[in-house]
């Protein structure tokens, strides 16, 4: 049964991908990209990768679509017809596709117990997680503790990407008078004249934030963690900004605070590692943070997940505001 649903979803995925390529309306393409992410999230979930599915749904279908729309508000919403270099592009794409299809022949079958990914360190992680870290969600244990260096790197990638976008979009263009912060598709006052979305949105925002906290702090037990929670917080603030207008969102969370949050999260993660070193362990070895090594791991995971959440929240809301501040075309 699951196989049939997965085949159905994969078919839909291909159809959506073809539709994205086919359409010249960029607005429709952004929406289709959101649908594409949502279908991928469903496929991931059916393959028992709940953490990845949650991330894909929150990032791909949620916040990226909003950022795409923000970018489209600054440019045209139709693709310019270009014919230059069509042939070269076709040759490159065909070659890459051929290589990719060729490599799939060497891939192990789904769920093959002899696949390299099942034989290398995965059994050790599964076996030792109860002993060393003792959290039910092994994904969190691997992500935050065993492979803490990788996640530190990812957090700094998010932080660096945020800085890059702020450098490109953070200041109004030279010569153009500074526009009042207004999202072109929301207007200066947000959706004030849309009563029903405003009322329902205001009603939902506290619950979205509550759900974000649940995802943040329940990551040890179920799917979730700092990345997903940060995206959900950012989504609720974006919703607030769309409903009530940019200015009120910036009053609630000033731009400076958001930048501070983004930097503080990454630093919190790094300093946790340094604190471990000062207490006599290795960098990011949380076992030394408490008397009991297992409790130390719990504290460490909690702190670094909070750091990841801060950074993702700060970066995403800053990016949204920097798009919005560019104003009308």
Partner 1 sequence: MIVDAVSWVLLTLGGFSVLIGGIGALRMPDLYTRMHAASVTDSLGTMLVLAGVILQAGFTLAAVKLAATLIFLLFTSPTAANALASAALMAGINPGLATPWRQEPRS
Q: How far apart are CA 82 and CA 78, in angstroms?
A: 12
CB 143 within 8 A of CB 49: no
Residue number with CB closer to partner 1 (147 or 198): 198
Shortest spacing between CB 199 and partner 1, in angstroms = 9
Residue number with CB closer to partner 1 (161 or 199): 199
Residue number with CB closer to partner 1 (185 or 283): 185
54: how many CB neighbours lie within 10 A of its CB? 24
Shortest spacing between CB 275 and partner 1, in angstroms = 37
Shortest spacing between CB 207 and partner 1, in angstroms = 8
* Cβ within 8 Å of residue 204, ≥6 positions away: 239
Residue ranges binding partner 1 (CB under 8 A): 191, 194, 196-197, 200-201, 203-204, 207
Shortest spacing between CB 191 and partner 1, in angstroms = 8
Residue number with CB closer to partner 1 (211 or 271): 211
Residue number with CB closer to partner 1 (89 or 200): 200
Using CA atoms, how far residue 56 sits from 4, 38, 42, 44, 143, in Å, is 22, 7, 9, 9, 16
Half-sphere exposure of 20 (CA within 13 A, CB side): 15
Shortest spacing between CB 326 and partner 1, in angstroms = 22
CB 258 within 8 A of CB 314: yes
Q: How far apart are CA 37 and CA 54, in angstroms?
A: 11
């Amino acid at each position: 049964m699951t196989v049939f649903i997965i085949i159905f979803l994969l078919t839909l995925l291909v159809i959506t991908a073809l539709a994205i390529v086919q359409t010249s309306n960029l607005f429709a393409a952004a929406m289709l990209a959101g649908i594409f992410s949502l279908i991928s999230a469903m496929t991931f979930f059916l393959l028992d990768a709940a953490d990845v599915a949650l991330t894909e749904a929150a990032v791909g279908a949620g916040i990226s679509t909003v950022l795409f729309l923000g970018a489209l508000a600054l440019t045209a919403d139709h693709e310019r017809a270009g014919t230059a270099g069509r042939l070269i592009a076709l040759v490159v794409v065909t070659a890459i596709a051929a290589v990719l299809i060729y490599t799939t022949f060497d891939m192990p079958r789904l769920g093959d117990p002899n696949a390299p990914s099942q034989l290398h360190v995965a059994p050790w992680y599964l076996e030792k997680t109860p002993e060393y870290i003792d959290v039910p969600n092994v994904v969190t244990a691997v992500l935050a503790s065993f492979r803490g260096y990788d996640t530190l790197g990812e957090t700094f990638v998010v932080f660096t990407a945020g800085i890059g976008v702020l450098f490109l979009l953070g200041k109004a263009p030279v010569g153009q008078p500074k526009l009042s912060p207004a999202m072109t598709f929301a207007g200066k006052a947000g959706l004030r004249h849309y009563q029903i979305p405003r009322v329902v949105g205001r009603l939902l925002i506290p619950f979205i934030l509550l759900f974000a906290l649940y995802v943040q702090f329940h990551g040890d037990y179920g799917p979730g963690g700092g990345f997903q929670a940060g995206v959900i917080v950012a989504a609720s603030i974006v919703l607030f900004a769309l409903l009530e207008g940019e200015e009120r969102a910036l009053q609630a969370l000033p731009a400076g605070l958001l930048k501070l949050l983004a930097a503080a999260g990454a630093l919190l993660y790094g300093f946790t590692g340094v604190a471990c070193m000062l207490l006599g362990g290795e960098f990011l070895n949380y076992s030394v943070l408490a008397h009991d090594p297992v409790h130390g791991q719990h504290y460490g995971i909690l702190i670094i997940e909070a750091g990841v959440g801060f950074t993702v929240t700060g970066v995403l809301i800053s990016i949204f505001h920097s798009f919005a501040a560019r104003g009308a075309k």
